[in-house]
Amino acid sequence: MANRVRQNEVHVYLTDDEKRILDTKFTQSGMKSRSAFLRHQILYGYVYDADYSDLHEYNMELSKIGVNINQIAKRINQTGSIYQEDLLEIKNRLDEIWHTQKSMLSKQPYIKQ
């Protein structure tokens, strides 16, 4: 096989799950050959590691704020009265949401390539 363009053979061991994922992605690609698919992934595919810890923290804060607003709404529905301090609390919580959202949007994502 001296005329072969690709002369370097590579062996890879995969778990059952990794093999299933490879087979699924290969099938979805519509390519005719698994070797061509793998070469394409090596040459043009991306490997990235995304850190979602800030997004998780953001979601936790939004959840806390939402619970506080729901408690105020429940109190308003029970008493039939809206108190000035309740309105101020809602305004403060909305300001927190805005501040948190501005903070999240100002962060640049880091993607390893």
pLDDT score for 112: 47
Q: What is the pLDDT of residues 59-107, one digit of tens each?
A: 888 888 888 888 888 888 898 888 888 888 888 888 888 887 787 777 6
CA–CA distance from 22 to each of 39, 43, 80 (Å)? 13, 16, 60
Predicted TM-score of the model (pTM): 0.43
Whether 113 shows a pLDDT value over 60: the answer reads no
In the block, residue with structure tokens 């994922």 = 21
Of the listed ranges 17-26, 42-51, 82-91, the least confidently predicted one is: 42-51
Q: What is the pLDDT of residues 53-65, one digit of tens each?
A: 778 888 888 888 8
Element (H, E) at 40: helix 34-44
pLDDT score for 108: 58
Which comes out higher in pLDDT, residue 44 or 47?
Answer: 44
Contact 89, 68 (CB under 8 A): yes
